[in-house]
Amino acid sequence: MSQQSRTRAKAGKSRRRQSRSKICHCCGAQAMFCWQCRCGFSMCQSCMYENQWGMTCNGITWECPDCGAQNGYGNQ
Ligand SMILES: [Zn+2]
Ligand SMILES: [Zn+2]
């Protein structure tokens, strides 16, 4: 119900919607692609690669550090 004043002065890049941008919960960087858990946790590819030794034990699924759910590396 909050009406935000729209500042249309600097409308250079109007792609600041929160729908598509994915923020890595590990490094905090915005990534094009993130592995995502259903709990909302997301991790970028580089972080996943670095932490793969602790995230997965079989290379097929990775365990969410937040909720402990198993997520597949396949299609998201
Ligand atoms: Zn990251
Ligand atoms: Zn999770």
For the chain, the domains span: 22-72
CA dihedral 9, 14, 16, 22 (to 10 degrees): -160
DSSP state of 27: T
**Gap between the Cα atoms of 74 and 24, Å rounded:** 19
Q: How far is the CA of 69 from the centre of ligand 1 (A)?
A: 19
Task: Express each pLDDT in 9-46 by its tens digit.
Answer: 555 555 554 556 799 999 999 999 999 999 999 999 99
Confidence category of residue 6, pLDDT binned at 50, 70, 90: low
What is the dotted CATH code of the domain comprising 22-72?
3.30.40
Looking only at the bridges linking them, the beta strands covering 34-36 and 22-23 are unpaired
Q: How far is the CA of 49 from the centre of ligand 1 (A)?
A: 9
Q: How far is the CA of 33 from the centre of ligand 2 (A)?
A: 17
Does 70 have pLDDT greater than 50? yes
